[in-house]
Amino acid sequence: MSAPAHSRDLVLTRELVIKDEVTGAVLGPKAMIRADDGGFIIAGRINSTQEAWATKTDAEGQVLWRYQLKVKDQLPIGQGAEFNDIAAMPDGSSFACGQMPTQGSYVPGLLVHLDKTGKPLSEQLLIPEHGPAHGVANFNACARWGDGVAIVGKVRQFHGGGRNDTFYWLLALDSSGKRNGSA
């Protein structure tokens, strides 16, 4: 069986490998988006340290800034902080979304707002209100929505006795990462 004709048009023009500056470990990307200035913002998790990371490059692939969310507590392997998606904003800032497992019984959704130089403007953990003591929440995707950002994710609450509830989040935030202009 031959490949479709359009596959011959795909040409790899550049390869970019981004490594952790301290350990030299290759970073595990989960999302990449083209910024308005022609550069790229890439995000994911460093598997060796279990830290969420984001990096901005220019259009040529030169790293402009790096951000790592430091994990304060040692977590079991496979349960580190992770960015699943990133949204570039018109002012050059970006929102990275994912999850932040903790030593507690609830995995909160993670939302970080970075300025145009990669400095955090806010770092938020979101846990559903009125939820039971055990559960998992994460943000799967975030995207520019008008002047703000929309975030979608899933929450699973564990009630015991094999009973679980699952529901979905859709958050629309303004350009500063606040709901309805409030904190």
Domain boundaries, the chain: 17-173
Residue 5 has pLDDT above 60, yes or no: no
Would you say the pTM of this structure is higher than 0.85? Answer: no
User: Cα 146 from chain centroid?
Assistant: 20
Mean pLDDT, the chain, whole residue set: 80
* Cα angle 34-38-43, degrees, rounded to a multiple of 5: 35
CA-based torsion, 124, 130, 135, 138: positive or negative: negative
106 touches 135 (CB < 8 A): yes
Residue 183: pLDDT band (50, 70, 90) is very low
pLDDT of residue 56: 95
Multiple choice CATH, 17-173, 3.40.710.10, 2.130.10.10, 2.60.120.650, 1.10.730.10: 2.130.10.10
